[in-house]
Structure 1
Amino acid sequence: MKRILIFQTAFIGDLVLVSSLIKSVAKTYSEAEVFLVCKKGYEAIYEGFQYLKGVIPYDKKGIRGFASKLKSIKFDAVFSPHRSHRTATLLFLSGIPLRVGFDTAGFSFLYTRRVKYRRNVHEVERNIQLLLAVNKAARVDLQPELFVSKDEVGKVREKFSLEFPFAVISPGSVWPTKRWLPEYFASVGKYLIEERGLVPVIVGSAADIPVAEKVFRQIPFAVNTAGKTNLRELMALIAGSSVVITNDSSPTHFASAFKKPVVTMFGPTVKEFGFYPLGEKAKVAEIPLYCRPCGIHGGKRCREGHFKCMRDLTPEKVFPLIDEVLKDGDFAEKRGVGS
């Protein structure tokens, strides 16, 4: 095969996790050019990624025109973790001869190879099944990976005057029930300062500014970058951090991709969905409850009206997990930061 396409236009976290499939495809077909289609606005995530020949952004407006664009590139195969009807239709119209997708995808009959969607395994392992269905001898690499340079890390540290080791705190989420309480994040921020000597750096998008401000106002010496960074700067902050404390959202997967210690709060969601943080220094903070899980994405409000999955997950339950992922005390670690 000369040209291979990976198609993933879902959320940022899904896009980060597809990096392991990209790597595995590139290593298996070392002579091929590998391309990625992602949602427009997210293409910066894969800047400098050595396993990709190119990234093609898609704004999800129109199908035939974009399918024609893909057809002109003459791909030999496409692997599609994305399971929408639109994706299956678009790839069918693109005329790519080998189209590999999941059997649970919308219009899955339009794929030439349908792969059983495995539940209760991590997303990266699920995605790799697409490749193994075509090549049982594939060179599999399950570790998510992204790239930022030392220069990018240095610039973002300079931008926010980060002279000391720091921890990233990510209190936001698109789904309100996925958000750990702001006062709990603040308690963790104080713990990181007092017990670990780490400056808490709060991150988030423009939409996360209100919750980030609530956390920031309660932590002395914290730095609030919410709404002040682009995707590359957010990645650089995570790559340069000593530890990441986050909700079940994309910073979890960025931390995995940069092999950073991470503690992730799980409330309405559970690890069995397959989106937990990966790595030797990755921990999930959660408590058992009769009502968990209540949905794959959480929701706008607690269905039971008590929100115990987050309220009862107190900071005192999280402190030991932070100590565990930081037990070696190596705050100067730079794994995941390129040259």
Structure 2
Amino acid sequence: MKRLLVFRFSAMGDVAMTIPVLHALAKQYPELEITVVSRAAFHPLFEKLPATVSFIAADLQGKHKGIKGLFRLFRELHKQKFDAVADLHDVLRTKFLRWCFRLTGTKTARIDKGRKEKQKLTRPENKVFRPLKTSFIRYQEVFQKLGFQFPLHFSSIFEQAKADTGQIISVTGEKGNNTWIGIAPFAKHKGKIYPLPLMEQVIANLSQQPDTKIFLFGGGKEEAATLAAWEKKFPHTLALPGKLRMNGELVLMSQLDTMVSMDSANMHMASLTGTPVISIWGATHPYCGFSGWNQSSENTVQTDLSCRPCSVFGNKPCLRQDYACLYEIKPEEILQQIKTVLKRRKS
């Protein structure tokens, strides 16, 4: 087999989780040409992979929209004569594309998302509370179905070449001997967002620490407005929306001493740079298999409630209606974990 096609369109965190697996695959099979099809916005995540990994942007809101658009995408890809297709998404769009390739005799394999296991883990009563396979393992299994056997070895997207900090200095300034802490306080769903007034207390404390600079990660108008307000309110704090593109944010993440993040895309992005992430979990749980690559369970901040996890993605209303899973986490717990990680880094 010489040419392999890989599909994973969204979400951003799930796309980021493909990187360690694709990197390990490319290293084990240097003769294999791997082409990843995803959304154009995610291209920077793949730029540091080995040269045998290429990227094609799917315009799912434009020329590749709908059945006609997907068939157009299939025809464009089929011309490149791939030997096999790995579907790491298994949604309607990729099912259709997979079906098209299968009709032409191309070997295909798809991800097993473990939906039944996740339902048992998140149901309100009689939970089967045990850790499930990680997405990294589930992705690896897709390639194994196609005949590829390889260990999951990966440390950072910058392991071959150091991050070019020159592209961010105009925004961040020189690090010197300062401690740099990233905070990504948002997520897609309410069940995964630590209450902002409590997070503000964390930032207020950190901003008073000597030789410490805080970088606030987020996107969208409302998030940007909140971060800008915190930047104005607290010293040594910089809101990043509008200041760096994704590739610049990845470089910055590689320079952080630690990142504080929700169960979100920023957790996964920071993990790709080898930075220790202190992750805060509410309605979701690491047992669902979505922890950041190579992150220590010691850096997980969460409450021990019998109703957790109530959701795989954090998108369901709180059964208790009080989001105790998040509100019961005290700012002091997060600050103590930051202190522990920083001490560990310096020892």
Shared fold (TM-score, shorter chain, > 0.5): yes
Which residue, 204, 214, 219 being the options, matches 1:200?
214
SS of residue matched to 1:19: helix
Which residue, 223, 227, 230 being the options, matches 1:212?
227
Which residue, 305, 318, 327 being the options, matches 1:311?
327
Quickly say closer, same or farther: Cα 1:28–1:312, change in 2 above 3 A: same
* Structure 1 match to 2:74: 67
Equivalences, count: 319
Contact kept, 8 Å, 2:20 with 2:272, in 1: the verdict is no
Contact kept, 8 Å, 1:4 with 1:33, in 2: the verdict is yes
> In the TM superposition, what is the alpha-carbon distance from 1:39 to its structure 2 partner?
1.5
Range 139-148 or range 71-80, more displaced: 139-148
* Structure 2 match to 1:278: 293
> In the TM superposition, what is the alpha-carbon distance from 1:156 to its structure 2 partner?
1.3
**Correspondence 1:232 to 2:247:** yes
Quickly say closer, same or farther: Cα 1:22–1:279, change in 2 above 3 A: closer
> In the TM superposition, what is the alpha-carbon distance from 1:290 to its structure 2 partner?
2.9
Unaligned runs of 5+ in 2: 116-129
Quickly say closer, same or farther: Cα 1:191–1:143, change in 2 above 3 A: farther
* Structure 1 match to 2:151: 140
SS of residue matched to 1:320: helix
Quickly say closer, same or farther: Cα 1:105–1:246, change in 2 above 3 A: closer
- Larger fraction in helix: 2
> In the TM superposition, what is the alpha-carbon distance from 1:292 to its structure 2 partner?
1.7
Quickly say closer, same or farther: Cα 1:246–1:231, change in 2 above 3 A: same
Quickly say closer, same or farther: Cα 1:44–1:103, change in 2 above 3 A: closer
Unaligned runs of 5+ in 1: 107-117, 332-339
1:279-321 deviations in Å (ceiling 9; x for gaps) = 3656111001232222211127534321111111111122232
Q: Distance in 2 between matches of 1:242 and 1:103?
A: 35
1:242-288 deviations in Å (ceiling 9; x for gaps) = 11011110111112111111101100100111111233656111001
Range 141-150 or range 300-309, more displaced: 141-150
Q: How does 1:1-339 map to 2 (within 5 A)?
A: 1-50=1-50, 52-60=52-60, 61=65, 62-94=69-101, 95=104, 97-103=106-112, 120-135=132-147, 138-143=149-154, 145-147=156-158, 150=162, 152-163=164-175, 164-195=178-209, 197-207=211-221, 208-279=223-294, 283-299=299-315, 301-330=317-346
Percent of pairs with identical residues:
22
Q: Distance in 1 between matches of 2:174 and 2:198?
A: 23
- Structure 1 runs of 4+ aligned residues shifted over 6 Å read none
SS of residue matched to 2:343: coil
* Structure 2 match to 1:111: none
* Structure 1 match to 2:127: none
Q: Distance in 1 between matches of 2:342 and 2:109?
A: 41
Contact kept, 8 Å, 2:271 with 2:295, in 1: the verdict is no
When normalised by structure 1's length, the TM-score is: 0.84
When normalised by structure 2's length, the TM-score is: 0.83
* Structure 1 match to 2:121: none
Q: Distance in 2 between matches of 1:218 and 1:230?
A: 24
> In the TM superposition, what is the alpha-carbon distance from 1:105 to its structure 2 partner?
9.6
